[in-house]
Structure 1
């Protein structure tokens, strides 16, 4: 990759890893103090914002395009902090997440906190660092954003819309006592069973397009959106959530008429 500052980027990778680790360790300390590990879900979005902020700061003298650098910072922070706020608001007044209760019940020797540190916090910190590779590399790319980058902004905007509007529609649905026990199948949820996960998918492929100023940059950072896509569709996102919902009344009918991930007209697949 002619002209790309490999050495400076390598240093930046270390700073980004440190930022992700710091967020997770601080969150772990808070979780131990309050006795509830569900707070790590809030740290997911905060971690991405921290990585973007640190990467922006340390890349200032690298020769990276200032417009691209600022754009990557804004796109990442808007997405990450909105997600963190939403999860914090949604979880207020609730106890421990059943997912973490089930996981920590398997802790060897009953050492729940150490097990959580290894299996949740450090793992999520590593994933934040890996998924955000396009943000980290894009800070060092010279040259203007170009039409591919602006197309990436459009994809990001579609993703943020699906995620934010989908979350809002679900919150309003759950707030109505008349909907207790029912399956949400309205609004964006009639186009896809997971508008928020589809939104995340678009956000990170959009950020990838903004960051990829040349094919070598794309080649070394594509692992980021690929890993995020795997997590959303086959990892801890859609697959696990639908497994937990499989026995709920009306879910089978909803799944039969509604697309599983990518939006589309009613019909399901």
Structure 2
């Protein structure tokens, strides 16, 4: 137990330093969107930190870390490419925060970045529990968790690639992306992101006492569906594509992939 709390304190110190450096760079670059990249990348750092400071079974530790790295590095690369290609324009969320913060932009964003660092530590406990599990052998629920995360990681990658290919075609300018997975869900990338975290949770549940980490996938689900995921994406899509997107909304599931409604 003592080592557990020492790991948490160490993780908080590490994330405070990382987010402080990120804030300094964001001010210099004049683009606070960069925190999204660092947020996702930080889970790789947390995974490595927990791996090095835990005495769990080596094979479980290695597999958990591998899944974390695959998810975190893919998402970080995807976000970094998008942010760099849009620079100096920031994501609309950060433009809104700039207006809200007014003359206190620097200090308020510093606190915002630190909150992001704390969220990484809290959410990453779903990784720490299985990593510090010393029992040898995998339970059936751990196997399901690993499989779900890996399957969903592939699904998210496919959804992002399909959207990118659609947008890169000049003939699709102003059109709604409704091909591939996007025919069955308006936000398949968000759906698979949520499923990745439910896979993380099932992997953690294989460890005694880890049931409490259910807050991690629930938090991610809430953020995706109610906060920074679907709501702003839908709002922007309606502004850009109007009636075409309303028809897409009428026939296509918002989150969970399902067959389109006929006649809509």
CA-CA distance at 1:215 after TM superposition: 5.0
Kept in 2: contact 1:134–1:207 (CA 8 A): yes
Partner residue in 1 for 2:76: 84
The structure carrying a bigger helix percent of its residues is 2
Specify whether residues 214 and 34 from structure 1 end up closer, same or farther in structure 2 by C-alpha distance, changes over 3 A only: closer
CA-CA distance at 1:246 after TM superposition: 3.0
CA-CA distance at 1:57 after TM superposition: 0.9
Give the one of 196, 212, 218 matched to 1:226. 218
Q: How many residues of Structure 1 are paired with residues of Structure 2 in the alignment?
A: 258
CA-CA distance at 1:54 after TM superposition: 0.6
**TM-score, with structure 2 as normaliser:** 0.91
| Deviation per residue, 1:93-133 (Å, 9 max, x gap) | 3222232112111214x1212111223x1222122122211
Distance (whole Å) between structure 2 residues aligned to residue 199 and residue 242 of structure 1: 18
Matched, 1:104 2:105: no
Give the one of 191, 213, 216 matched to 2:209. 216
Distance (whole Å) between structure 1 residues aligned to residue 170 and residue 10 of structure 2: 47
C-alpha RMSD of the superposition = 1.8
| Deviation per residue, 1:171-196 (Å, 9 max, x gap) | 11111111111111110111111111
Partner residue in 1 for 2:183: 190
Partner residue in 2 for 1:266: 260
SS in 2 for 1:183: coil
Structure 2 matches for 1:37-116, cutoff 5 A?
Answer: 37-59=32-54, 62=55, 64-94=56-86, 95=88, 96-108=90-102, 110-116=103-109
**TM-score, with structure 1 as normaliser:** 0.90
Partner residue in 2 for 1:245: 237
CA-CA distance at 1:71 after TM superposition: 1.3
SS in 2 for 1:222: helix
Partner residue in 1 for 2:170: 177
SS in 2 for 1:234: helix
Kept in 1: contact 2:67–2:150 (CA 8 A): no
Kept in 1: contact 2:130–2:207 (CA 8 A): no
Distance (whole Å) between structure 2 residues aligned to residue 132 and residue 229 of structure 1: 15
Specify whether residues 191 and 20 from structure 1 end up closer, same or farther in structure 2 by C-alpha distance, changes over 3 A only: farther
Distance (whole Å) between structure 1 residues aligned to residue 144 and residue 248 of structure 2: 33
What stretches of structure 1 of length at least 5 have no aligned partner?
1-5
